[in-house]
């Protein structure tokens, strides 16, 4: 169960548990992002969109989909996954 404010891109998810006490209620606010915002944040971080799909078998993009981004090197070319810097770098 939840509340949504599409214009503000905010929601509140409500969770209810029946247990030893009569009723436990937990509500968690969150903010969601549109794919265009993810693309912009990735570009600011030096990444580029690799693919957008609903699953590993590339089903059409839906509201349950994911995005995969690649880090760009200084020359603007995508760095292969094995080329990620170590945490010490």
HEC readout, 8-46: CCEEEEEEEECCCCCCEEEEEEEECCCHHHHHHHHHHCC
Answer yes or no: do 52 and 75 share one domain. Answer: yes
Which pLDDT value is given to residue 89? 43
Answer yes or no: do 68 and 41 share one domain. Answer: yes
Q: Give the integer Cα–Cα distance in Å for 55 and 43.
A: 22
Give Cβ neighbours of residue 16 (< 8 Å, ≥ 6 apart): 1, 23, 24, 25, 26
Question: Has residue 1 got a pLDDT over 60?
Answer: no
User: Does a structural domain hold residue 89?
Assistant: no
pTM: 0.50
Q: Give the integer Cα–Cα distance in Å for 69 and 55.
A: 14
Q: What is the pLDDT of residues 68-85, one digit of tens each?
A: 777 777 777 767 655 455
Answer yes or no: do 28 and 38 share one domain. Answer: no
Q: What is the pLDDT of residues 22-67, one digit of tens each?
A: 788 888 888 888 888 888 988 898 888 877 777 667 777 777 777 7
Answer yes or no: do 77 and 64 share one domain. Answer: yes
Say what percent of the chain tops pLDDT 70. 81
User: Does a structural domain hold residue 88?
Assistant: no
What is the domain count for the chain?
A: 2
Answer yes or no: do 46 and 74 share one domain. Answer: yes
């Amino acid at each position: 169960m939840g509340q949504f404010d599409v214009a503000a891109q905010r929601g509140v998810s409500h969770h209810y548990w029946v247990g030893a006490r009569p009723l436990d209620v937990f509500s968690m606010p969150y903010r969601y992002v549109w794919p265009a915002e993810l693309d912009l944040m990735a570009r600011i971080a030096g990444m580029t969109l690799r693919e957008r799909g609903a699953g590993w078998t590339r089903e059409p993009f839906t509201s349950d989909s994911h995005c995969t981004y690649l880090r760009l090197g200084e020359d603007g070319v995508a760095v292969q996954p094995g080329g990620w810097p170590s945490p010490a770098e």
